[in-house]
Amino acid sequence: MNARLAVLASGSGTNLQALLDDPVVGPRVALVVSDRRDAGALDRAAASGVKAVHLDPAVHEGRESYDGALEDLLTAEVIDLVCLAGFLRILGPAIVGSFRGRILNVHPSLLPAFPGAHAPRDALAWGAKVTGVTVHVVDEEVDHGPIVLQEPVPIRDDDDADSLHARIKRVEHRVYPRAVRWWLEGRVRIEGRRVLVEGSG
């Protein structure tokens, strides 16, 4: 599938780099958008010859205005799939609706456990023995959409939030490109809350 991908990122862009480094996914990344001017993700995009855009929330009055500008940009760039990679803004229902079934997110827990922005910390505070990584389809609720792929990460007795998150990230960098490849290969079918992947075993 000759799809064009956009990656939305707010931070250093390590998951973006994992996507760029994948031989199937990387050539399809056509656009990187960040809500932060100093995001390392923009530098990684530029270094890879990918169009990098800082879409500044400060010049938009509220989420609807920002989402409208983002949707206009994605449409102008003829984007087929949107990949969230540490994007710290919640996408509103209008843009989710426009890209229904075509927005993926990677989250550092085994959803539905520990949604939100502090999943590794929350898993430790709960005393969980296992957490992990979830790649899911984005819907109108936060960290809620149908699950494409999950992989567990054991929690060690000596873990703190930083050490646990570092191990989770290593798994993210491996599984997120795999899930995106499945989508690009046309192997992903969404049936309600279930995601069926052809040939995944």
- 3-class SS of residue 141: coil
Whether 200 contacts 43, CB under 8 Å: no
Strand ranges, E, within the chain: 5-8, 29-34, 51-54, 81-84, 103-107, 130-137, 147-154, 188-191, 194-197
Task: Based on the residue annotation, tell me whether 107 is a catalytic residue of this protein.
Answer: yes
Residue of 54, 60, 107, 173 with catalytic role? 107
Distance from C-alpha of 157 to C-alpha of 94, rounded to nearest angstrom = 43
DSSP strand pairing (188-191 vs 5-8): unpaired
Whether 125 contacts 85, CB under 8 Å: no
DSSP strand pairing (51-54 vs 29-34): parallel
Annotate 40-56 with three-state secondary structure: HHHHHHHHCCCEEEECC
Per the listing, tokens 């999950």 go with: 150
Catalytic residues: 107
